[in-house]
Structure 1
Amino acid sequence: MAKANPLQEQLLKAGLVKKSQVAQVAREQNKARHAKGAPPGPSEGQLEAERARAEKAERDRVLAAEHNARRRAEELRAQARQIIADRRVPRRGELEYRFSDGEAIRTLLVDETLRRQLAAGTLVIARHGEGFELLPRLAAEKVRERDATLIVLDHGQAGDAPESSGNAEDDAYYAQFVVPDDLVW
């Protein structure tokens, strides 16, 4: 018999184990020591824990991306508000300039020069807090890049022009009636 460890010898002397049992344990230990087989695969519990960790990491990544997107959008809105505050054109005059803001009709008091600039598209109306401000076209383009919802009226944009009804006969009929350029409604 190979050298047994002291505990095995004591158990044999006390008669608590048989010699065959000690030999069996020694063979198993030797086999385990010299085995070249692959280590046993992860248990079902380990696999479930790994899946849970992967799901949590994915959820955390998605939440972080959403948070970063919201933060970036808020930064852009703040930059747009700052541009409006810095670049607004002072309003003066007593002429009412009416424009649509969604479903409502709003009015700004302007002078003749500002009214002409608004009609030509060199000035743009932008929402600023609870009110509205006049902006030069370049500043309005910077605001539009950051938050297009702040631009209320821009006659220089093709998208703000009223679209044709699509009825060529009506268009031809109404073409005979000239609308004056200085019409104020």
Structure 2
Amino acid sequence: MSSLQDQLLKAGLVDTKKAKQTKKEKAKQAKVQKRSKQPSVDETKLAAQQARQEKIERDRKLNAERNAAAQEKAIQAQIKQLITLNRQAKQGDTAYNFTDGSTVKSLYASAQQVEQLSRGLLAVVRLDEQYELVPAIIAEKIADRDATVVVSQASKSADTLDEDDPYADYVIPDDLMW
């Protein structure tokens, strides 16, 4: 079996003078390495190792981005499933006004649902471009996953009266609409 140098000589790609010079340089490097007892740095091996490390790092970053996108997609699917399985039917003629960002929106629901919305038992959530009513427990689960989906939820406050309330003696009529 002939060496690569012999093959290049036979093919005429390298002349004998250049081959001898390369052989001498190689022997000289080996001799210097033996004397110095310090490992010589091979630039090609170092460059290859550095390129391999960079590729591993790029692959790691790409995998992290893919995993994050898949996780976000799974969370959105969970939110959609929670809303579609637990939404309440919006049948009624009583308007419930709420804010979505900086705009005021209206939702028509039954009087009982409007009361539950104001007491914090129901919440308004956004599903695609529509608004749905879901129980407060489900709204909390949705808010744990993505708080921007829950549009309006009143705080669950007990109907306790403040001791210092100057209007405590005045009764608010039931038929009063704000």
Q: How would you bin the TM-score normalised by the shorter chain? A: 0.5 to 0.7
Aligned to 1:133: 132
Letter in 2 for 1:89: Q
Let me know the Cα RMSD of the aligned residues: 3.1
Aligned to 1:78: 77
Q: With structure 1 as the length reference, what TM-score do the two structures score?
A: 0.64
In 2: Cα distance, 1:49 partner to 1:92 partner: 69
Aligned to 1:151: 150
Within 5 Å, give how 1:36-75 maps onto structure 2.
Answer: 40-75=39-74
Q: With structure 2 as the length reference, what TM-score do the two structures score?
A: 0.67
Residues 51/184 of structure 1: CA separation in 2 closer, same or farther (3 Å cut): farther
Corresponding residue pairs, total: 141
Measured after TM superposition, the shift of residue 42 of structure 1 is 4.4
**Which has the higher relative contact order, 1 or 2, with Cα contacts under 8 A spaced 6 or more apart?**
1
Residues 43/108 of structure 1: CA separation in 2 closer, same or farther (3 Å cut): same
- 1:22-43 CA-to-partner distances (Å, cap 9, x unmatched) read xxxxxx9xxx9xx8x9695441
Letter in 1 for 2:72: A
Measured after TM superposition, the shift of residue 181 of structure 1 is 7.9
Residues 38/130 of structure 1: CA separation in 2 closer, same or farther (3 Å cut): same
In 2: Cα distance, 1:63 partner to 1:105 partner: 41
Query: Which structure has the greater CA radius of gyration?
Result: 1
In 1: Cα distance, 2:101 partner to 2:146 partner: 16
Segments of 5+ residues of structure 2 without an aligned counterpart are 1-26, 158-165
- SS state at 1:148 partner: coil
Measured after TM superposition, the shift of residue 52 of structure 1 is 1.5
Aligned to 1:117: 116
Letter in 2 for 1:111: S
The alignment status of 1:103 with 2:102, answered yes or no, reads yes
Letter in 2 for 1:58: E
Residues 119/179 of structure 1: CA separation in 2 closer, same or farther (3 Å cut): farther
Q: Which segments of structure 1 move beyond 2 Å, counting only runs of 4 or more? A: 37-42, 178-185
In 2: Cα distance, 1:38 partner to 1:120 partner: 82
